[in-house]
A and B are shown apart, each in its own frame.
Chain A
Amino acid sequence: MTDDSTLSVPDSVVPTWVVRTLGLARREVLRVTRRAKNTVLPPIVTNGLYITVFGVILGARIGETQGVPYLQFVLPGLIALGAISQSFQNAAFSLFHSRWEGYVEVMIAAPISSAEGIVSYLLGSAVRGLLVGGAVFALGYLFTGTPVRHPALLIAFVVVVVLLFGGLGLVGGMWADDFDQLTVFNQFLIRPLVFFGGVFYPLADLPGIARTVSYLNPIVYIVNGIRFSLTGISSVPPLTSLAVLVGATVLVVGLDVWLFERGFGLTE
């Protein structure tokens, strides 16, 4: 249980739009932290198993990849996997649930703007993605003990990633008509992209055409960016990766605002 008082920001001097945004954001963050055993713990356990099996047990047989132990090579992808899937799922589920139960109408009928609403949902998603990503990193660090090469870059990548996939989660939350459809994005889009995004293998191992196609996969930039931040190795220049991801995030959040303004999935 989180101390809720720490989530209340003194707002006697802040503008009203900030009050509205923080109000909704507080709700979204509490929804994550109050049920941490449902929202945060399961993905940490899952990724802990990935680290144990792929990193520790299989990694010992595989040896080094691109000059680093396999666990060190695979850890950035697992951090990305945790942050991506949880930020996406949080935004998608929370928005869809409010539609399903009908209380999204309370938000729509309030003076909170589309942009404020989106920022609030993204903050909730970011908290969940960062908690899981951070926990996976901490677990991996227990085994590798390797210091982070570029901590500022690591933070930048993870923050952009959780915002990008939180934004995509909002699209999913508006689009889905039932709970089954919510899983479609995760199972048939995000998960395949992650598995073909260079998490478990270096892009250099792929044949020419497959490697070229891989550059269309945004996960490649995420994994390589985080990998560079942690180990200093990457198949893609890190600043190029960051630029691609920031651009994608701007586009997706812009799409969220556009859809919210039009009431896509939210109003008649």
Chain B
Amino acid sequence: MTNTPAIEAEGLVKRYDGVRALDGLTLSVDRGEFFGLLGPNGAGKTTFIETLVGLVEPTAGQAAVFGNDVETEQQAVRNHVSVAPQEFNVDRFFPIQEVLEHAARIHGVRASDARERAAEALESVGLAAKGDRKFRALSGGMKRRFLLARALVSDPDLLILDEPTAGVDVEIRRDIWNVVQRLNDDGMTVLLTTHYIEEAERLCDRVCVVDGGQTVVVDTPGQLRRRGTDTIRAEIDGERVHANRLRAVDGVDDVAVTSDGVTVRAERAESVLAAVVTAVSRQGRTVETLEVDRASLEDAFVDLTGPGADGSGGPESDETTTSQPSERSRQSSTTEQ
């Protein structure tokens, strides 16, 4: 039982009036994992979530949550899962403390505990002082945080966050990140859908890039970043360098020469950097400044899902390495020469 994945989807298909919202989506999420679903609008992320909790019935394929089939064992699935949706779907009649109590009770939390759970959930998202307010009286950021609190009040094993930081400012976004990171550190499995590349990079152990209702690739943010291309920008004193001599450097993909420097693109900046500087020096020029832009997850994402992507996104990896919260998506270093 403990080896059963938190989520296992195999060939999930959902058609709406001829449109395939899911087109054979396959993925597996380990217990305790922080798993990201990254994809453009209409990629099928929300449909996948709704399939897991029974809001959408799949046309074909199978999905299970902690080993429970989402179609035939719905109640068992729902005992494990909570969703913080993208939409503000809140009962606006009651103060938010009571909305949480109601949510807890329909998950089977006894009345004596529901109030305490609701207070704790509000506390965890910094809304403890707002419990007597109604949802409409909250600011946009508070509303987002409240949706998270509502998902937490049933103490789920699997927390599903659908665009949890959409439309909130940086400070609140980071607050939300800290809360869900803590929950994941404590063992809660988290499935996150997001448009924000930085969010996926910072939080997720693995990311599934979804496009057209299909799994394009599943990998760690670090490995996905390596699928992109690094850029080296060098300012050169004196006359222009010869581009062909730089192109001859092993590992260089592309070279662009400008009046004051050169831009070199390579899969791995560190593997060509010394050779590029040497090639410039051999032409009698001096590198004045050097800037390396690492390929970001965003670059990889655009490559995988943007125009020109072949749809397969390359060979699918199912690496289970757990990465640390990744470094900033774009690292720059400037070296005076």
Kindly report which residue of chain B lies nearest to residue A262, judged by CB atoms: B57
Give Cα A260 to B180, complex, Å: 33
Q: Interface stretch among A109-117, A145-153, A154-162, A206-214?
A: A109-117
Which listed residue (B50, B87, B94, B107) contacts A268, Cβ 8 A?
Answer: B50
What chain B residues lie within 8 Å of A106 (beta carbons)? 89, 91, 103, 106, 150
Q: Does B56 contact A (CB under 8 A)?
A: yes
Given contacts A101-B92, A268-B50, contact A112 B106 (CB under 8 A): yes
**How many A residues are at the interface, by size bracket?**
20 to 34
How far is the CB of A258 from the nearest CB of chain B, in Å? 16
Kindly report which residue of chain B lies nearest to residue A27, judged by CB atoms: B102
Q: Does B60 contact A (CB under 8 A)?
A: no
Q: By the criterion CB–CB under 8 Å, are A268 and B55 in contact?
A: yes
Q: Does B111 contact A (CB under 8 A)?
A: yes
Q: By the criterion CB–CB under 8 Å, are B90 and A103 in contact?
A: yes
Q: By the criterion CB–CB under 8 Å, are A109 and B102 in contact?
A: no
Q: By the criterion CB–CB under 8 Å, are A11 and B55 in contact?
A: no
Q: Which of B56, B93, B109 has the most CB of A within 10 A?
A: B93
Proximity bits, A97-110, B CB within 8 Å = 1, else 0: 01001110111111
Q: By the criterion CB–CB under 8 Å, are B111 and A11 in contact?
A: yes
Binding site of B, secondary structure by majority: helix, strand, loop or mixed?
loop
Given contacts A12-B110, A16-B108, contact A30 B91 (CB under 8 A): no
**How many B residues are at the interface, by size bracket?**
35 or more
Q: Give B96-133 interface residues, CB cut-off 8 Å to A.
A: 101-112, 114
Q: Give A1-44 interface residues, CB cut-off 8 Å to B.
A: 8-12, 16-17, 19-20, 22-24, 26-27, 30-31
Q: By the criterion CB–CB under 8 Å, are A111 and B107 in contact?
A: yes
Q: By the criterion CB–CB under 8 Å, are A26 and B105 in contact?
A: yes
Give Cα A109 to B81, complex, Å: 8
Q: By the criterion CB–CB under 8 Å, are A19 and B105 in contact?
A: yes
What chain A residues lie within 8 Å of B87 (beta carbons)? 102
Which listed residue (A22, A101, A111) contacts B75, Cβ 8 A?
Answer: A111
Q: By the criterion CB–CB under 8 Å, are A11 and B78 in contact?
A: no
Q: Give A73-125 interface residues, CB cut-off 8 Å to B.
A: 98, 101-103, 105-113
Given contacts A23-B102, A268-B16, A268-B50, contact A31 B93 (CB under 8 A): yes
Give Cα A111 to B105, complex, Å: 10
What chain B residues lie within 8 Å of A16 (beta carbons)? 108
Which listed residue (B79, B111, B150) contacts A23, Cβ 8 A?
Answer: B111
Which listed residue (B79, B93, B110, B150) contacts A19, Cβ 8 A?
Answer: B110
Given contacts A30-B94, A105-B55, A267-B54, contact A113 B111 (CB under 8 A): no
Q: By the criterion CB–CB under 8 Å, are A20 and B85 in contact?
A: no
Q: Does A263 contact B (CB under 8 A)?
A: yes
Q: By the criterion CB–CB under 8 Å, are A19 and B55 in contact?
A: no
Given contacts A11-B110, A19-B110, A24-B106, contact A108 B92 (CB under 8 A): no
What chain B residues lie within 8 Å of A263 (beta carbons)? 54, 57
How far is the CB of A198 from the nearest CB of chain B, in Å? 38
Give Cα A10 to B113, complex, Å: 11
How far is the CB of B191 from the nearest CB of chain A, in Å? 14
What chain A residues lie within 8 Å of B297 (beta carbons)? none
Kindly report which residue of chain A lies nearest to residue B150, judged by CB atoms: A106
How far is the CB of A143 from the nearest CB of chain B, in Å? 36
Given contacts A102-B87, A103-B90, contact A19 B111 (CB under 8 A): yes
How far is the CB of B326 from the nearest CB of chain A, in Å? 31
How far is the CB of A142 from the nearest CB of chain B, in Å? 33
What chain A residues lie within 8 Å of B112 (beta carbons)? 10-12
Given contacts A11-B111, A263-B57, A268-B16, contact A105 B105 (CB under 8 A): no
What chain A residues lie within 8 Å of B101 (beta carbons)? 23
Kindly report which residue of chain B lies nearest to residue A102, judged by CB atoms: B89
Q: Does B272 contact A (CB under 8 A)?
A: no
Kindly report which residue of chain B lies nearest to residue A34, judged by CB atoms: B93
What chain B residues lie within 8 Å of A105 (beta carbons)? 55, 83, 85, 89
How far is the CB of B42 from the nearest CB of chain A, in Å? 15
Give Cα A67 to B78, complex, Å: 60
Q: By the criterion CB–CB under 8 Å, are A20 and B107 in contact?
A: yes
Q: Does B200 contact A (CB under 8 A)?
A: no
Q: Give B218-232 interface residues, CB cut-off 8 Å to A.
A: none
Which listed residue (B78, B94, B108) contacts A109, Cβ 8 A?
Answer: B78
How far is the CB of A6 from the nearest CB of chain B, in Å? 12
Q: By the criterion CB–CB under 8 Å, are B108 and A20 in contact?
A: yes
Proximity bits, B120-151, A CB within 8 Å = 1, else 0: 00000000000000000000000000000010
Q: By the criterion CB–CB under 8 Å, are A23 and B114 in contact?
A: yes
Task: Name 28 interchain pairs, CB-CB below 8 A, sorted by A.
Answer: A9-B111, A11-B110, A11-B111, A11-B112, A19-B105, A19-B111, A23-B102, A23-B105, A23-B106, A23-B109, A23-B114, A30-B94, A101-B90, A102-B85, A102-B88, A102-B89, A105-B89, A106-B106, A109-B55, A109-B78, A109-B83, A111-B75, A111-B78, A111-B107, A263-B57, A267-B55, A267-B56, A268-B16
Known: A11-B111, A19-B110. 7 other contacts (CB 8 A): A17-B108, A102-B89, A105-B89, A110-B107, A111-B107, A113-B75, A267-B54
